[in-house]
Structure 1
Amino acid sequence: MRTAPSLSRRLAAILLLLVYLLPGLPAMAAPASPPLEEAWLNFHDNKRAEARELFKKASLEPATKAEAHLGLSLLASMDRPGTEAFREFQEFFKASQNPYPYVYSLWTTPSIMAGSGKKTVEQLAFLKNLVKDPKADGTLKAMAWSILGSHYETTNQPAEAHQAYAQIGALDKWQMVGEFENMSGSGFTKDFGPLAKPEANATFTNKHGAIVSWFTPPATRNDKWIDFTYHFYFNDAAVYAQTFVNSPKDQTLQLRMGVSGSLKAWVNDRLVFADDVERNNDVDTYLAPVSLKKGQNRILVQVGESYAGRSNFLVRLTDEKGNPMQGLTSTAAFQAYTKDTGSAPTPITLAVEEFFQKQAQDNPNQVLPKLMLAHTFLRNDKTSDARRVYRQAQKMVPNSSFIVLRQLEAYQREENRTSLTTALEWLKEHDPNLPFSLDLRFDDELEKENYTQALALLDQMEQQQGFDESILTKRIKVLSKKEQFNEVIKLAERGYTNYPENPTFIELKYMIEKNVNKNQAGAANVLKKFLKENRSYAVSQRLASVYFDKGDMNNGIKLYQQYLQEEPVAVGIQHTLGNIYAQAQNHKLAEEAYRKTLQLSPYIGQYWADLAKTLKAQDKKEEALAAYRKAIQLDPTDYTSLKELRQLENKKEVFSYFPQTDVYALIKKAPAAAAYPEHSSLVLLDEVQKVVYKGGASEEKRTIVVKTFNQQGVEFWKEYGIDYHNMQRQLLEKAEVVKQNGNKVPAESNNGQLVFTNLEPGDAIHITYKLENHLLGKLASHFWDRHFFTHYLPYQTTRYSLLVDPETKFQYKVTQKALEPKVQSADEFKLYVWEQKDQPGMQPEDKMPVLSDVSQTLYISSFPDWKFISNWYADLAAAKARPDYEVKQAVEEVFAGKQNLTPVQKAQAIYEYITSNITYSSIPFRQSGLVPQKPSDVLSTKIGDCKDVSTLFVAMCREVDVPAQLVLVNTRDNGYDDLVLPSIDFNHCIAKINLPEKEMYVELTSNFLPFGSLYQGMLQSGILEIDDEQSQANRSLAHLNPKVRTQNIIDRNVKVQLVNNDLAVVEENYKTGAMAAEAKQRYRDAGQQERERIVQQAINASMASVKLTELSFKGLEGPQDTVRCRLAYQANDVVTQVGGMSLFSLPWTSKATARDFTFNETRATPLDLTQLLYADHDRETITMSLPAKKVLAEVPQSVKLTCPVAEYSLTYKKVNSQLVFTRELRFTKDIIQPQQMAEFQAFYKKVIAADARQLALK
């Protein structure tokens, strides 16, 4: 039984608790005295000289001394060396009654540590005092021990480093297992098995389909962080670690955690903490109260990476003050434990966050508490919270460069390029003499090669800041650009003399000795001198290369071994050592090194592959075979190992199983141009050879051989682009022109773009390339493809061959015309061959459907169904739809002052906000082809593609309880039947809201389209609604034809009056839905003259002599779903006088003409009306006033026509002295089959006649 703590210890604990919970320094909380208040005003107004003098003056007063020194420290961090910022903070630390929250907040800044590594004498003294300070809590002490350990490591004091790191009190004995799928954060909520299976012999299936189990690495990082990047392929992965802690009794304590990635933690299988946001933070960022039982306790941690860029954690078990709990022991080996079925506890807010939050609340008019709170959030990588508080402070002091500088770190952490560049430009413009701004301006001038101005800026920096190593480095950079190498050498020597531990000057001195002075020994001594008192892998590696260059393998290898002795977890160095042995043909030592690598990282396929190679070199065939197989299990797309394994197994090369073609013999026998008088070229061979290995990895080879007949053929084939995506690796084997005499001219190539020079009529081109598929996530084990067998050109041979593992399940389908494959066994594979010979080119026809709807096309897919695709994309998008701070802020802005809205009204408000504020843009370098951007990024950059804005819409809808989901779209212009089998080949994304009374599809890429509308060309597009795995919906591919949408209507009311031989026309029309969008897009931002020009040009297309006299619009601005237009014009000389009668035609706007369709009795393909249709309804009414003393010579008859695909009506009635004609043409189908063409042709001829019918007045 533990004895009661002494009275002094109890008082110390109470004092420490009060230190964190009290409001803070009286000087901080009390109203600032005039000098201090004025100092802060000048500080935030960027008047640094004035602020410095005022802070110094305030530091002389006891009541303001502490805060004044803090101000001086923050000021120095902007424009003075870090040593001054640190010195001033020490004065603050001594003067302050409670400096500890500020130590935490500013820990990584120049005011205190400015990072890890080697520290000054003064910094070391501060750290050593801090770890002994009874008022400092355990977190600060752990932070200090960590920096001390880093210092000792950097200065070649390994024993002291290990002692310091041990004082952190971290749990450092762990078993690990992984890696599991976490693309786009999708693995956070998944159960991959490790929670339920803690036993050492438990097995799991990792993201590559390989069987994995718990393993205990022989070493972890010296600084006690458990770093998965040393042990796994950590990108887009969830990894687990477990340890077993023995507690001498039942007790409650705190689990304190820091992480890079998302984090979940369990104690005795009870979830105690979860945060799906991926952060890069420090020790003790997360706190959870936990209960340990007497005896063994299991602690399980899950870390996920998809955008954090790292994957690690550090866990401590502490008392309430953050001190390591004594009496606990831990082991990585499995121990029996008692499960805890309790619910998750409430996480503990960090005391330092509470401290500054209270400071900010109690002192709302002071900027400093907000800055410290934001610093604290930023230090813990709570970037959205930090930005929120910085913005609050910025509203109070909008000119503060200090705040902008701190915001830069937040933007960098979030990779927010737009906000980052905006902030950088702000600094250059508003505070050009700030040292950081001078650096930016210097970089700008250097990039523009304006070296004179760059040197002038350096002179200004030196005058302002004094001479230092940074300015010297920049000056060397400029002089190097100017090729003033003698000056560079002088400055480099000066830099090395003054700053012998600066990496730049070490490198320059090394290069001078080696290349200028030709003193190899001197060059080596530069590196040796540094390494005597410093530890640096880069310098050790450089020195090792010096030894290797002169044939001294032993000393070179010793450097690697020494580094490994100091950092045994350094798996990359261990692997490099193996590579060095292998290159030296010392395969025995290479094997030993690789096996040590695999002890650290048993589930990295590349390491197994390298081991296999060195085993093969030693004729250890069976071991090499096993190693190759292990490499392929862990990395199924290691095509090099797949090839080498087959060779070792004495198996055939996979592409030798396919039908072989002698390309050059094929070209030699190619027919002459006379055989194809209607074509400019002939495709002699279009062949795909696809290999699908067991597990789903696939690669393919494509060969294209073309004979050109004339100059048109040369123009068509002179360039060729190899189509491949960012999850494929392209390897070009041949790209050449084969001349008529047999000579070969290689094509010019660049990243799949080929240019065939010296190509002439009669020549052939030959292209052969491979594509290796390196698919990610759930796609990794699947394949899908589409191949056309009929084209617009004639093809001599079209062949698609599939060599596949017989256990692999897949579907295939051929459209238009049946084509069964020839199937045969090929050793351990099955070979499928689809082939067509002598295919004629399809004749282009008017309004012909796209190729996928008319070509004989082969579709192949291993995806089980469309629900798989829906679940797959749900995983990618779910984490991105999280309503983070920016989303919540946007929602508040949208609904400010709006209450009692219906769900549809809420959705419309969000739609109008997005389409008004976010610009559509789809640029590959900015966006992923598959994964949406985070809504916060879209809101800050105000730009996004279809999936980005749709995801933002879904996130905002969910924030106001409007059910919404994403919908993938394959637009109609790709073909109605383009996706015959499950595939991911969608090219668009929209959103859908699901309400009991209605379902609405929402297109968010246009700021002209009214809410609930769809462009006519989107109708009947292929769509797939996106649901997660919990959804019971059995998703399949559908076609977009919503019951609820705004109709796309054009309705025209035209008044016509005969004036002699002219027509005076006044038209009033309205357009709804997409037609309104078209009007807005065309006219909204045009001036009146431009609007009139557009309309005049449109009328002139059907009437020769027209003068527009009036034009006005209503509804172009804002979100209205209807645009109204009034126009008036006079058409001259449109009336013909014959035998005393006036003959004229009605001015129908959409008059049918013979040019609308080309009818051909031999038409082979359907007619695609989607290329013509633009509205659901197009109706026009013409009201004509008869001139005095004029009557109709013949009363017109109404016309009503129908056919299987369309309806037409033209009605006539007389109302008093006016004639009223109403015309409407409506298509009931959007595809006309060839067998329907004759009937449609007869129908349309009648429509043309009806529209063109003349009226006669007498």
Structure 2
Amino acid sequence: SYFEKAIDSKENEQNALITLSQLYTRVNKPKSAEEAFQRFYNLSDDPYAEIYALWFTDAVIGYRGSRKSDGQLKFLEKLSKDPRRIGKIDAAMNYWLGTHHAFSFDKPNSRKYYKKINNIKNWDCLGPFDNVMNSGFDKDFGVLANPNPDAIFKSKYGASIKWFDPEMSPSDGYIFQRTNFTGYNSIVYYQTFVQSKEIKDVILKIGYTGSLKVWVNDVLMHSISEKRKTEMDYFQYKGKLQKGYNRILVQLGNYNASYANFTLRFTDLKHHNLDFSNTNEVQKYPKGQFHAEKIPFYAVEQLKKKIADNPNDLIYPFLLAKTYTRSNEINEAENILLKLQKKYPTNYLVLRSLINLYEQSGNSTEQNRYYEIYEKNNPDDMDILTNEISKHNNKKDKAEYVKLTNKFKLLYGDNYTKLTYDSNLDALNENYDAVIKKLEELYAKYPNKFDPVVSAYNLEKEFYNNPTKANKILEKYLENNFNYKILSQLITNYTEEGNHAKAIELIQKTTDLFEYDLQMNKELINIYYRQKQYDKAIKLAEKIIFINPSNYEMLKDLGVLYNMKGKTKKAIEYYERSLSYFPFSFEVNEKLRELKGQTTVMNLVEKIDPDEAIDNYKKNFKTDKKEIFDIVVNNRSFIVFKSKAVGSLVEYIIKINDEKAIQQYQAIEFSPGGNFNGYINEAQTIKANGNKINGERNSGTVTFTQLEVGDYIYVSYMETQVYGGKSSLFVYDDFSFNSYSPTYEVNYNIFTEEGMKPNFKAVNHSYQSKKKTLEGFNINSWQVINPEPLKSDFYSVPYADIAQSLHFSIGSSWYDIAQWYSDLSGHQARPNYTIETITKELFNGKNYSK
């Protein structure tokens, strides 16, 4: 190729090698990519800007979530001996060496490298606070002014909280928000006090995912509200630590960042580690005494200089865009790439970079736009061919599949790919003996690759019915590899087989390496629960709550465990704590009533007696309107707890009058709202003679077999809230009493816990409710018999305008609603680069006043 020839020119050699390293990746030649980049590394006086930009490509260290290849590992070890790396990627290098060994279940070597990072540990924690749509970033929750342990704050949903010491120090250098806090759209805080024996010039280095503020001695030195996802040490500040203790306060936000985290460390001005002692116990500190000077990140500065020195060279702006993309600086990367694309509209690497950028930022419109350009100009690209092959494989289009896979094998195929595609072709040809043979060959040749391992496992378990041998395949893989899916599957297998000892051993091996893995600890609690070892389960659950007091799911589990031990008072305490951090759990509210000796609210709801309802309908219902079905009874009961958790019970019976109704109701799909779980209590066909036939259930769909004209369908369906956010504080429901179908009886019941003030608005009717109080709930009930059906008219006004309906709301003042809307809209009102660019294109230099 052109670039392979260009490496013979000293003038172009280094840039050609960089480009080749990326192109080799795209033609399935990872070893060639490694070799090309390492050749560049050996030639360059300072290769570290390029190393940073291409860090997670196959040419350097590859995919972040796996062990490194032999070549990548050797390269990382080579970097560890290169003094040029200091102040550039020394922390990142140690982190990824440590992570490689962690993924190899090699704890000693993993810890050895993690220890070299030397990040600050011993943090007190506080939170979570509300951050809907990133609105909490600039709110003052009183944290800066109150470092003391006796200060009391109000958390996201009103729980009283204090600073807490989790007594933990993650070994890998990162502080993950989810380790100490539960919930999305939150702001949390960390503080510690760093001791310096003298006034000391330092560089404070930060890396993080999420939004971040950092104060030193109450002086704000870093503040970026937009989500970033940076490498260690990406943000650096030079300043002086005062003699004695210095307060470090970190605010971390997880809006749109599910794995929010940060790492913070100090070096001297030559980038050597400083071993300051620090404590999370509050100390006297010199407020207001810290002046920070930001140090530009080396890779950004070096690449900007190379662009200035080589204005016509495409490689440097491409690398700078990659650098910005790595840190989620979307606007900066987009600015560069759009200018490049304008100049080089079909350039392969530029288009791929734009597609990846927009995928990362969630801009599917622009991603699809540039993908179409990319696809048109690169129809034989590896990814495009892969997608086409998958599409035709799913269609079972053998001719096209063979044509495309032959092309792929010619252009990009290695032995692994060829075997995989050939086994798929055997499956299309229904030659299953050949499929099995090739899957066994794949596993024999690639025992450390995920897909062959899973295929071999499934083959042994499902086809040969040999669960013991299937487990051994997973066990062998996990001897030297870490994969969460495989690990979880093996633990599940051991547990289901009753081999709890092996399951516990594997969990403990994992938590020994990844100390604060919540999911693994939950697996262990579940095993103890199955074994009825409640004390062991409680001890582990309380350890998790000590580290993460806002973990409302674990608090709920502790309620369950103490209830199993017969300790009702303790169970109530944990259920109430769970509710203070997450008030929207209908289940927890109901469980508290049960433990306090009250009837659950769902059991206060009067249920339909289908036989009685049908009998009343037969005796009393008259209508002149003929429709394909009648509504015998339609009941809705809506329940609101004081915590704003809601649930509902819908029950109805319809009578089939026409074959068209059979077609319409033969299968009913039940789909709960996004914050709810749905439960089908009853779904029956009731024959004219009274016989009842249960519908056939398949997930959320019920099919009514043997349905005939004259039959009745009876449904009882319940929804209960399990998720929620700030908008869940505003409770609303509505119900219509009449419809286009003839209706005999309609009931609407609203249950509100005592102390709440419901609002009702009637539309197109003046029906009055009956009121009563029952076990702490006020009940408003409306019953309508023989409501006038609506007239079916092609030109009729919308149903909502003419139906007899009732609107119900409860909750907040106009101020609360305005504040909520302000929080939602404030983030959306911030312009991004795409909007700014479009605005410039539309308006710059143009006069629309004429």
Alignment TM-score, normalising by the size of structure 1: 0.62
SS in 2 for 1:167: helix
How is 1:88-127 mapped onto 2 (pairs within 5 angstroms)? 88-116=36-64, 117-127=66-76
Offset, 1:304: 2.1
- 1:894 maps to which residue? 842
SS in 2 for 1:675: coil
1:57 alignment partner, one of 2, 5, 8: 8
CA distance in 1, matches of 2:471, 2:703: 49
Contact 1:367–1:396 under 8 Å retained in 2: no
CA RMSD across the alignment: 3.5
CA distance in 2, matches of 1:336, 1:805: 48
- 1:638 maps to which residue? 585
How is 1:1073-1112 mapped onto 2 (pairs within 5 angstroms)? none
Offset, 1:696: 1.0
- 1:46 maps to which residue? none
Contact 2:245–2:285 under 8 Å retained in 1: yes
SS in 1 for 2:211: strand
1:502 alignment partner, one of 436, 449, 462: 449
Change (3 A) 1:471 1:170: farther
- 2:306 maps to which residue? 359
Contact 2:207–2:230 under 8 Å retained in 1: yes
How is 1:369-448 mapped onto 2 (pairs within 5 angstroms)? 369-448=316-395
Aligned residue identity for 2:507: Y
SS in 2 for 1:138: coil
CA distance in 1, matches of 2:21, 2:60: 9
Aligned residue identity for 1:417: S
- 2:107 maps to which residue? 158
- 2:681 maps to which residue? 733
Contact 1:181–1:777 under 8 Å retained in 2: no
CA distance in 2, matches of 1:541, 1:717: 41
- 1:209 maps to which residue? 158
Offset, 1:226: 1.1
SS in 1 for 2:591: helix
CA distance in 2, matches of 1:619, 1:881: 53
- 1:472 maps to which residue? 419
Contact 2:759–2:808 under 8 Å retained in 1: yes
Contact 1:428–1:441 under 8 Å retained in 2: no
2:193 alignment partner, one of 244, 255, 260: 244
CA distance in 1, matches of 2:662, 2:111: 71
SS in 1 for 2:392: helix
Q: Deviations over 1:40-87 (max 9, x none)?
A: xxxxxxxxx2431x12422xx4x5443343343333233252222222
- 2:86 maps to which residue? 137
Contact 1:492–1:509 under 8 Å retained in 2: yes
- 2:98 maps to which residue? 149
CA distance in 1, matches of 2:488, 2:657: 59
SS in 2 for 1:135: helix
How is 1:925-1074 mapped onto 2 (pairs within 5 angstroms)? none
Offset, 1:785: 2.1
Contact 2:409–2:418 under 8 Å retained in 1: yes
- 2:209 maps to which residue? 260
SS in 2 for 1:85: helix
Change (3 A) 1:838 1:536: closer
2:29 alignment partner, one of 77, 81, 100: 81
Contact 2:105–2:513 under 8 Å retained in 1: no
SS in 1 for 2:342: helix
Aligned residue identity for 2:163: W
1:677 alignment partner, one of 618, 624, 627: 624
Aligned residue identity for 2:262: F
Q: Deviations over 1:862-889 (max 9, x none)?
A: 2434443343233223212221111111
1:829 aligns to 2:780 (yes or no): no
Change (3 A) 1:677 1:264: same
Change (3 A) 1:756 1:781: same
1:880 alignment partner, one of 828, 833, 837: 828
Change (3 A) 1:780 1:433: closer
Contact 2:634–2:651 under 8 Å retained in 1: yes
Change (3 A) 1:843 1:549: closer
- 1:616 maps to which residue? 563
Give structure 1 stretches of 5+ with no counterpart. 1-48, 910-1258
Offset, 1:697: 0.7
Offset, 1:113: 0.9
Contact 1:473–1:504 under 8 Å retained in 2: no
Offset, 1:107: 1.3
Larger Rg: 1
Change (3 A) 1:92 1:839: closer
CA distance in 2, matches of 1:852, 1:418: 34
CA distance in 2, matches of 1:793, 1:538: 51
Change (3 A) 1:750 1:576: closer
Change (3 A) 1:741 1:256: same
Offset, 1:145: 0.7
Aligned residue identity for 2:266: L
SS in 1 for 2:617: coil
Aligned residue identity for 1:228: Q
CA distance in 2, matches of 1:835, 1:526: 63
Change (3 A) 1:805 1:321: farther
Contact 2:738–2:804 under 8 Å retained in 1: yes
How is 1:483-502 mapped onto 2 (pairs within 5 angstroms)? 483-502=430-449
Contact 1:73–1:85 under 8 Å retained in 2: yes
Offset, 1:524: 4.3
CA distance in 2, matches of 1:212, 1:250: 35
Offset, 1:723: 8.7
Contact 1:537–1:563 under 8 Å retained in 2: no
Change (3 A) 1:656 1:428: closer
Contact 1:220–1:568 under 8 Å retained in 2: no
CA distance in 1, matches of 2:485, 2:671: 40
Change (3 A) 1:479 1:584: farther
2:276 alignment partner, one of 328, 333, 353: 328
2:245 alignment partner, one of 296, 303, 326: 296
CA distance in 2, matches of 1:138, 1:311: 24
User: Percent of aligned pairs with the same residue?
Assistant: 26
Q: Deviations over 1:403-453 (max 9, x none)?
A: 223333212212333444444454444234444444333333323323444
SS in 1 for 2:650: strand
CA distance in 2, matches of 1:155, 1:850: 63
SS in 2 for 1:165: helix
Change (3 A) 1:276 1:648: same
2:636 alignment partner, one of 680, 683, 688: 688
Q: Deviations over 1:1157-1198 (max 9, x none)?
A: xxxxxxxxxxxxxxxxxxxxxxxxxxxxxxxxxxxxxxxxxx
Aligned residue identity for 1:810: P
Stretch deviating more after TM superposition (368-377 or 535-544) = 535-544
- 1:1080 maps to which residue? none
Number of aligned residues: 848
Contact 2:752–2:758 under 8 Å retained in 1: no
- 2:729 maps to which residue? 781
CA distance in 2, matches of 1:167, 1:77: 31
Aligned residue identity for 2:591: E
Stretch deviating more after TM superposition (225-234 or 723-732) = 723-732
SS in 2 for 1:832: strand
Offset, 1:778: 2.4
Change (3 A) 1:776 1:181: farther
SS in 1 for 2:83: coil
Q: Deviations over 1:1041-1094 (max 9, x none)?
A: xxxxxxxxxxxxxxxxxxxxxxxxxxxxxxxxxxxxxxxxxxxxxxxxxxxxxx
1:663 aligns to 2:610 (yes or no): yes
Change (3 A) 1:341 1:841: farther
CA distance in 2, matches of 1:877, 1:754: 41
Alignment TM-score, normalising by the size of structure 2: 0.90
More helix by share: 2
Q: Deviations over 1:495-527 (max 9, x none)?
A: 333333212223334445555666665544444
Offset, 1:668: 0.9
Stretch deviating more after TM superposition (760-769 or 104-113) = 760-769
Offset, 1:206: 2.7
Contact 2:205–2:264 under 8 Å retained in 1: yes
Aligned residue identity for 1:98: D
Contact 1:105–1:372 under 8 Å retained in 2: yes
Change (3 A) 1:777 1:525: closer
Contact 2:193–2:247 under 8 Å retained in 1: yes
